[in-house]
Amino acid sequence: MKKALWIVISFVWSHAFSQNPNLEATEKEQINLLLDSWHQAAAKADSNAYFNALTDTSIFIGTDATEHWDKTAFKAFAKPYFDKGQAWNFKPLERHIYFSSDKKTAWFDELLNTWMKLCRGSGVLVKIGDQWKIQHYVLSTTIPNESIDEVVKIKTPLENPLIQKLQTK
């Protein structure tokens, strides 16, 4: 009986979501608000708001090849920045949001105006109860195609030792 009830509820919910574009628009609004507030929390050095937007098992991947942190390690890395009164100030210029078929997972990419100039953020969000949380975030710098050779020349002496170290693991 419980299984049949669950199947009916799941069908009604998924049918309502797919048939009601306003519901998806509302979910996108919630996600946009979450991400915008998250970026603003960093700019205002509001560590609590910033890290409360992340799940307890979240991962943050930064622009440096060595920056792969769980939430605890990321908090430790970011603490000195937040303690100074402003962590970083990333302003979204565009964002695209997509949903899994059950609407409990979303992923996004965004183009950001930062002190590094244009960066790209991408991530995965999960819906916990009625609240979206960031599960995984990747920040990357953009490199114009016509400049890639120059960037590779700069990166090579810095990253070759890391490549060798990782290849020998």
For the segment 17-36, what is each residue's pLDDT rounded down to a tens digit? 555 667 678 999 999 999 99
What is the value of pTM for the model shown? 0.84
Distances in Å between the Cα of 57 and the Cα atoms of 20, 31, 71, 136, 137 are 32, 19, 6, 9, 12
CATH number at residue 113: 3.10.450.50
Order across the sheet with 68-70: list the strands.
68-70, 54-61, 131-141, 117-128, 105-114, 91-99
For the segment 31-85, what is each residue's pLDDT rounded down to a tens digit? 999 999 999 999 999 999 999 999 999 999 999 999 999 999 999 999 999 999 9
Per the structure, the count of domains in the chain is 1
Range of the domain at 146: 2-167
Percent of the chain predicted with pLDDT > 70: 87
What is the Cα–Cα distance from 20 to 129, expressed in whole angstroms?
20
